[in-house]
Chain A
Amino acid sequence: MSDLVLLFLEFMKIGLIAVGGGPATLPYLMELTEKYDWYTMEDLTNMIAVSESTPGPLGLNMATYAGFKTLGTFGGIVSTAGLVIPSIIIICLIAKFLEDFNENKFVKGAFAAIRPAVCSIIAASVYTVCKVSMFSYQDGVYEPIPKILALCVIVFVLLQVKKLQKLHPAFWLLAAAIIGIVFRF
């Protein structure tokens, strides 16, 4: 089978079976390093680092990267297409179902409980992500990183001001990048 077809199929498989977003794709991305020489384990580790410093989700970036390494720009497009096609099909079906049944009492009842539940799940994961970002972990203790903690608190307080809520989040990211460089975060 040609590499192009393989790339497409392997990433379609990941798009089809990895439940739970970006982190769920990791084990499957690792598996690919054993099966093919598209990228190495080291490439994958680098990619995780680069994904933090470039926009876009990890799974998507990895698909593009693997495809590009193997077959250039076109390869990147093919593997990305493989990754997203299952999502497009599945989500369109679910969205159609929810549209048809959004007045259904069972669907309504279910979502009345799913919403607060997922709100809590999001809160719990945000807590974990923030802890990793704002504290350094050494010898079993979490030490706060003062600069990052301070910037986070200041921006959070500013975000409560009505007028500032109208700003695009990208404005804050740009300001953060500049502050990070100027103050040597």
Chain B
Amino acid sequence: MKIYWQLFMAFFRIGGLTFGGGLAQLPMLKYEIVQKYHWLEEPELIDIYAIGQCTPGIIAINTATYVGYKKAGVMGGIVATIGMVTPSLVIITLAALCLQAIIDNVWVQHAIMGIRAVVCALMLNTVYTLGKKTLKGKFAWIIAAFSFAAAFFFHVPTVAIVIAAAVIGIIYNVYIVGRNAA
């Protein structure tokens, strides 16, 4: 029972404290899921992001379901997802009544600009630590360099990069390294 409550509350906090899209969520996820509860290792966060990019639906929801399922089965997935959506439901229902007033409020605008700056710092820090944990060895660096070029300069769709990486990874690790080792 405790695990359900923990899952609900962890994702309730993540859902209620993430400003911006899926990426802005990463620092929050890293804190709650990796640092605080040790439900996942850091590289697994990247796996979820990869899966989230290649499957339909919102990444925030996909992440909640994945972590919940891993810790407590289908019920865990559902509980974590409900935790994730509850803040949005409450906040938007309240905000819907005074949408324009919120956007036009000067204080809100100043606060949001400050939050934006810090969200950037948090995201950059998360990318930095994820990179340190993930980019080990020549093969990883080569894949990372080509993927960065593909995403950044040539705007190749994420799904295509992930599939290409998967194919190269299988060929290299199973057929080239695997055969030499055998």
Residue numbers of A with Cβ under 8 A of B are 15-23, 25, 43, 46-47, 49-50, 52-61, 64-65, 68-69, 73, 76-77, 80, 83-84, 86-88, 90-92, 94-96, 98-99, 105-106, 108-127, 129-130, 133-134, 147-149, 151-156, 159-160, 165-166, 168-170, 172-173, 175-181, 183-185
A3 to chain B, nearest CB (A): 17
Contact B93 A114 (CB under 8 A): no
Contact B110 A181 (CB under 8 A): yes
Top-7 shortest CB links A-B? A180-B114, A113-B169, A109-B173, A87-B57, A56-B88, A185-B113, A117-B165
A153 to chain B, nearest CB (A): 8
Q: CB-nearest residue of chain B relative to A170?
A: B17
Q: CB-nearest residue of chain A relative to B55?
A: A90
Instruction: Say whether, besides A20-B53, A21-B59, A172-B122, A53 and B69 are in contact (CB < 8 Å).
Output: no
Residues of B within 8 A of A179 (CB): 114
Q: CB-nearest residue of chain A relative to B157?
A: A20
For the complex, what is the distance from the CA of A17 to the CA of B167, rounded to whole Å? 24
Contact B114 A181 (CB under 8 A): yes
Residues of B within 8 A of A134 (CB): 117, 120
Residue numbers of B with Cβ under 8 A of A are 13, 15-28, 31, 35, 43, 46-47, 49-62, 65-66, 69-70, 74, 77-78, 81, 85, 87-89, 91-93, 95-96, 99-100, 102-103, 107-108, 110-125, 127, 130-131, 134-135, 139-141, 143-145, 147-148, 151-152, 157-159, 161-162, 164-170, 172-174, 178
B93 to chain A, nearest CB (A): 5
Q: Describe A's contact surface by its main secondary structure.
A: helix
Instruction: Say whether, besides A76-B93, A113-B173, A148-B117, A118 and B112 are in contact (CB < 8 Å).
Output: no
